[in-house]
Structure 1
Amino acid sequence: MPNICLTFSTSHPAEKIHQALTRLEGLKAWWTHDVHGHSGEGQILTFTFSNNGSFDMQVIRNNGNQVCWKCIRGPEDWLGTHIEFNIQETPAHNQLMFRHTGWAEENPFFHHCSTKWATFLLSLRDYVETGQGRPFPNDVKIEAIGM
């Protein structure tokens, strides 16, 4: 099964990264403005991207250095996949290791999502470092149709 794996590092505190992944105002600041739900383990978060659809993520893990979601509603290719954020702390910097695992195949949508995740992870890094991300609908567009 193919996986999307990305990373970035920052000198900003790991707690700030964790808050951006677990608080609604943080998620709205880097991924999409339309987020609802709760980020506790076993809870559901809903991420909506206007006419492009929405995703329900069940929170599988939420501790100081790990956040993991399972897609339970959304595009067929995403159903059952896991989105993992692992924060690795070092004295010099903090590293975010991202994985979107469980894809059935590498198809055009997989490639699209891989690039979009890269843009959103840079949005997350910018939000952590400057307080300003680029969430949908103000995200970096990669497709001619505007997504």
Structure 2
Amino acid sequence: MTNARSPSTVTVIRPRWVPGLTTAPQATAHTDPADVLVAARPKGPTMPDILHRISIDAPPKRVHDLIASTDGIARWWTGRPLTGGHTIGSSFSVYFGDAEQPAAVMQVLTDTPDQVVWRVTDGPDTWIDTGITFTLRPRGDGGTTLLFTHAGWQQAGEFMSGCSTNWGAYLTSLKTGAESEAFAAYPAGEISRWD
């Protein structure tokens, strides 16, 4: 028996957003979009991530269209229109309530049928330079498994915990909206408030 790997075995290292990286590595025709952020990974302690896995009884294309369009994002997350665009390299701003200033600005790094990646360029200090990844896996029954990551937090804490709670609620809004049009965007979907 040998421990050698067969030539067809490929090891894939999934990306982490690297705080302080000002430009993201770009995918090429020969690059797996899931690996575009690996190039600048520093050595040292691991940064905490928010992770969620959601089973959605809707086809991957339906889920992708809600994640990869500003109109879709408004339906399941913000509850109001976004500004900007959702194309690779562009940025969009999210607003909550009646705020005139954006709560966060996201740059679109990857938009493929099975993955959408954003980099936060403005917003809460602890969000800046973090990465938000939506990975879509088709299920045998026609549904979708969504793997969500908000990566690169400097440290875990109360704010991160609240964000994780709210991400779970808004991803549930995405799920119910994709399945039945019953979205629960802000403010209905907010569970952890900062008042």
Give the whole-Å Cα distance in 1 for the aligned partners of 2:121 and 2:194.
28
Q: Residue 135 of structure 1 corresponds to which residue in structure 2?
A: 185
TM-score (norm 2): 0.70
Deviation at 1:36, TM superposition (A): 1.6
Which of the pair has the greater relative contact order for Cα pairs under 8 Å at 6+ separation? 1
Number of residue equivalences: 145
Which residue identity lines up with residue 150 of structure 2 in the other structure?
H
- Contact kept, 8 Å, 2:163 with 2:192, in 1: the verdict is no
Give the whole-Å Cα distance in 1 for the aligned partners of 2:140 and 2:192.
36
Runs of 4 or more, structure 1, over 4 Å off, are: none
Deviation at 1:20, TM superposition (A): 0.4
Q: Residue 76 of structure 2 corresponds to which residue in structure 1?
A: 30
Residue of structure 2 aligned with 1:59, choices 108, 116, 119: 108
Q: How does 1:68-83 map to 2 (within 5 A)?
A: 68-83=117-132
Give the whole-Å Cα distance in 2 for the aligned partners of 1:107 and 1:39.
30
More helix by share: 1
Q: Residue 8 of structure 1 corresponds to which residue in structure 2?
A: 54
What 5-or-longer segments of structure 2 have no aligned partner?
A: 1-46
Matched residues, percent identical?
28
Mean alpha-carbon deviation: is it higher for 134-143 or for 3-12? Answer: 134-143
What 5-or-longer segments of structure 1 have no aligned partner?
A: none
- Contact kept, 8 Å, 1:29 with 1:132, in 2: the verdict is no
Structure showing greater Rg: 2
More strand by share: 1
Alignment RMSD, CA only? Answer: 1.6
